[in-house]
Structure 1
Amino acid sequence: MRRRVKQTRSLEERMAEQAAKLKAMADQLPAGAERESLLKRARIVETGAHLGDWLNSPGLRQSD
C-alpha cells in the first residue's frame, strides 16, 4: 500500500526552497564543476517552480 503524505506547502514553495538550498551549497564551494552542477540544478528547480505561473498567464489562456 502506498503511503500518502499531506503537504502543508505548495509545490512551488518547496521547489523555491530547494533552489535556495542548492544555491547556498554552491556558494560554499570554490569555482569548479561541482559548483556549476549545483547552480545548474538550482536553475532547473527554479524553472519548475515558475511553470505554474507561466501556464496560468493570460497570454496562454484559451480564448472562447
Structure 2
Amino acid sequence: MTTNGSKKQRRRFKQDTPLSERLLRAAREARAAARQLPPGVDQARLLKRAREAEAVAQLDEMLKR
C-alpha cells in the first residue's frame, strides 16, 4: 500500500495469443515431455495436465459461440 492513500496500480498485460491456443500449446508440450519419461507418477501427472488443458480449451471454444 502506498503512503499517500492512493490505490496501488495493477500491472495489466495484453495476451498476444488466444487462451485456447496457449492451452493447446501447453498440452502438446506436456505430452512431449511425458513421452520422454518412463511410465510412472511423473508421466501420469503430465498426461493429466495435457488432458485438462485440452478440456479447458474445448470449453473456451464452446463458450465463445
TM-score range, shorter chain: 0.7 to 0.9
Gaps of 5+ in 1: 58-64
Moved over 2 A (4+): 52-57
Cα distance in 2 for partners of 1:2, 1:54 equals 30
Cα distance in 1 for partners of 2:32, 2:15 equals 24
How many residue pairs end up in the alignment?
A: 57
Gaps of 5+ in 2: 1-8
Instruction: Name the structure 2 match of 1:34.
Output: 42
Instruction: Name the structure 2 match of 1:45.
Output: 53
Taking a change above 3 Å as real, the CA distance of residues 4 and 48 of structure 1, as seen in their structure-2 partners, is same
Deviation at 1:2, TM superposition (A): 1.3
Deviation at 1:56, TM superposition (A): 5.3
More helix by share: 1
Deviation at 1:53, TM superposition (A): 2.9
Task: Work out whether 1:24 is the aligned partner of 2:32.
Answer: yes
- Larger-Rg structure: 2
